[in-house]
């Protein structure tokens, strides 16, 4: 029914949940120290599509997306903005609120649970204690490290051998560790304002947080774990090492990763300072155009972001709305009670079959555009698909208001003069010039 590409096996696989009809989905959330950028938007729209798809097909889905609300970046931001590193909770709250606004604008459904690291400390600490007991972790001067070589399957997600990894790890040698490959589970802090643990005061490493929060809210074994491609290594590799060492079995059956958003062929990221925040893009483009733009690209292909790309997405989206939404009034179908009936609609089935094939939204959009039949059934099926599968709003976009520059006004006046003089050849030539500049001239009959 649904096939997805599993990063763990590097294959497209049929999805079968551990418990029939129940799905536990974990997606790594943001570190709230700044506004979400369009790379974040792509990730959360991708998993929102998956979540909606599963729910629509009768699965009981539990979707968990966390907030990493304590981190070096939050502490630095608190120092910079408030002159007090302990005010990182205020930084976190500000950007969590902003993130929720952005997700709402993109019509992303709210996950069932959104745990925060600062509220999950007891389970993080007991997770680390369990790893120490089993010999997978050790304490040095109040820090706790994970013993990577003890986990025989380390590297299975990122397909790397320990030897390859060692070459990279030597560069940042830390003498406290037994082995350069080991990573921190707990970082000692002399500041008593941080959390108390059996190893002294401190705060957790990033990777352990997700292992602990996933276990807290979804259980020891989960169906699907998702995130951006940049998290595959080391973050997700380390999550597997931690969770499987403590809990045994396979931590997540399926690992799904969305590809990067790139700018000028480079990965867009905060650290490279080549990013656009969602809210800045929303000032110029309706969030539905942005959502549509994501859906026009397969989630596993890199998206080369450009404003020209957004402009053509807007044109295409308007066209699609004209095709399917404008017929609302005469379709007479109540979308909410339409689900049963629509499952057998041939056009709807063909649209859904693309999404069922590794979320191939590109294919389904092609079918939507190609459909020239405007019978009530297929128009209603298309609308239902747009709203409930693709998560697009059916509100028509407001007409775009454009500034008439003096150059455009000049051409309009010249053309009007030519028309009055009945110089049709000149009037037509001027109309062509206006068209080339992106303006469609419509002459209304004077009454």
Residue ranges that bind Zn ion, judged by CB under 5 A: 28, 210
Q: Cβ of residue 82: shortest distance to Zn ion, in angstroms?
A: 27
Cβ-based nearer residue to Zn ion, 210 or 359 = 210
Distance of closest approach, residue 27 Cβ to Zn ion, in angstroms: 8
d(CA 238, CA 360): 29
Classify each residue of 19-32 as buried b or exposed e, where b means 16 or more C-beta atoms within 10 Å of its C-beta.
Answer: eeeebbbbbbbbbb
Nearer to Zn ion, 68 or 345 (CB): 68
Q: Nearer Cβ to Zn ion, position 210 or 254?
A: 210
Find the helix or strand (DSSP H, E) in which 226 lies.
strand 222-228
Minimum CB distance to Zn ion smaller for 23 or for 28? 28
- Least distance CB 127 / Zn ion (angstroms): 14
Token reading at 96? 């969590």
Cβ count within 10 A of residue 63: 25
Which CB sits closer to Zn ion, 255 or 294? 255
Q: Is the Cβ–Cβ distance between 260 and 228 less than 8 Å?
A: yes
H-only helix segments in 36-116: 38-56, 72-82, 88-105
How near is the Cβ of 135 to Zn ion at its closest, in Å?
24
CB of 405 to Zn ion, least distance (A): 49
Distance CA 202, CA 199 (A): 8
Helical residues (DSSP H) of 134-252, grouped into ranges: 162-169, 206-218, 237-247
Please say which residue, 72 or 179, places its beta carbon nearer to Zn ion: 72
- Provide the minimum distance between the beta carbon of 411 and Zn ion in the complex, in angstroms, as a whole number: 56
CB of 51 to Zn ion, least distance (A): 17
In angstroms, rounded to a whole number, what is the distance separating the alpha carbons of residues 130 and 49?
36
Token code pair at residue 115: 């745990």
CB 391 within 8 A of CB 54: no
Q: Which residue has the tokens 């802090």?
A: 189
- Name the residue nearer to Zn ion (CB basis): 240 or 281: 240
DSSP letter assigned to residue 235: I
92 or 263: whose CB is closer to Zn ion?
92
Under 8 Å between Cβ of 325 and 383? yes
Nearer to Zn ion, 203 or 383 (CB): 203
Q: How far is the CB of 43 from Zn ion (least distance, A)?
A: 12
CB of 29 to Zn ion, least distance (A): 8
User: Which residue, among 285, 252, 213, has the nearest Cα to 41 in the 3D structure?
Assistant: 285
- CA nearest 389: which of 263, 291, 317, 308? 291
Handedness of CA 75, 80, 86, 87 (dihedral sign): negative
Q: Is 27 or 430 the residue whose CB approaches Zn ion more closely?
A: 27
Closest approach, Cβ 213 to Zn ion, in A, equals: 8
Q: CA-to-CA distance for 79 and 337, rounded, in angstroms?
A: 53
Report residue 426 as tokens. Answer: 């000149």
Residue 350 CB-density burial (10 A; 0-12 exposed, 13-18 middle, 19+ buried)? middle
The DSSP secondary structure of 95-108, one letter per residue, reads HHHHHHHHHHHTTP
Beta carbon of residue 28, minimum distance to Zn ion (angstroms, whole number): 3
Specify the residue, 227 or 382, whose C-beta has the smaller distance to Zn ion. 227
Whether the CB-CB separation of 324 and 429 falls below 8 Å is answered with no
């Amino acid at each position: 029914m649904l096939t997805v590409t599993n990063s763990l096996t590097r294959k497209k696989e049929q999805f079968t949940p551990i418990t029939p009809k129940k799905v536990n989905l974990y997606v790594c959330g943001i570190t709230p120290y700044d506004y979400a950028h369009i790379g974040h938007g792509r990730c959360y729209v991708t998993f929102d599509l998956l979540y909606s798809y599963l729910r629509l097909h009768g699965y009981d889905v539990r979707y968990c997306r966390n907030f990493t609300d304590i981190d070096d970046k939050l502490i630095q931001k608190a120092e910079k903005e408030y002159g007090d590193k302990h005010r990182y909770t205020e930084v976190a709250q500000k950007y969590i609120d902003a993130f929720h606004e952005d997700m709402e604008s993109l019509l992303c459904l709210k996950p069932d649970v959104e745990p925060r690291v600062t509220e999950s400390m007891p389970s993080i600490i007991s997770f680390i204690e369990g790893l120490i007991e089993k010999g997978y972790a050790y304490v040095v001067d109040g820090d706790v490290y994970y013993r990577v070589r003890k986990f025989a399957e380390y590297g299975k997600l990122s397909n790397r051998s320990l030897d390859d990894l060692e070459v990279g790890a030597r560069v940042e040698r830390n003498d406290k560790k037994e082995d350069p490959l080991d990573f921190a589970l707990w970082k000692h802090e002399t500041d008593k304002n941080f959390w108390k643990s059996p190893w002294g005061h401190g705060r957790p490493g990033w990777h352990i947080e997700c292992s602990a929060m996933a276990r807290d809210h979804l259980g020891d074994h989960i169906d699907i774990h998702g995130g951006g491609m940049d998290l595959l290594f080391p973050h997700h590799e380390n999550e597997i090492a931690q969770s499987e060492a403590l809990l045994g079995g396979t931590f997540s059956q399926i690992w799904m990763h969305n590809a990067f958003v790139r700018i000028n062929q480079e990965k867009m990221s905060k650290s490279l300072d080549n990013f656009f925040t969602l809210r800045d893009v929303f000032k110029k483009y309706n969030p539905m155009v942005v959502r549509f733009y994501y859906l026009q690209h397969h989630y596993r292909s890199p998206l080369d972001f450009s404003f020209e790309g957004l402009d053509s997405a807007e044109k295409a989206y308007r066209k699609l709305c004209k095709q399917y939404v404008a017929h609302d009034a005469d379709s007479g179908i109540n979308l909410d009670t339409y689900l049963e009936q629509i499952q057998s609609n041939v056009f709807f089935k063909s649209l859904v079959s693309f999404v069922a094939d590794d979320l191939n939204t590109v294919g389904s959009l092609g079918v939507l555009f190609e459909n020239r039949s405007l019978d009530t059934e297929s128009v209603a099926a298309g609308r239902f698909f747009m709203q409930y599968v693709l998560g697009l709003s059916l509100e028509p976009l407001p007409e775009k208001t454009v500034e008439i520059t003096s150059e455009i006004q000049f051409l309009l006046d010249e053309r009007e003069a030519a028309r009055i003089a009945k110089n049709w050849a000149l009037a037509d030539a001027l109309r062509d010039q206006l068209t080339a500049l992106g303006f469609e001239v419509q002459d209304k009959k004077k009454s």
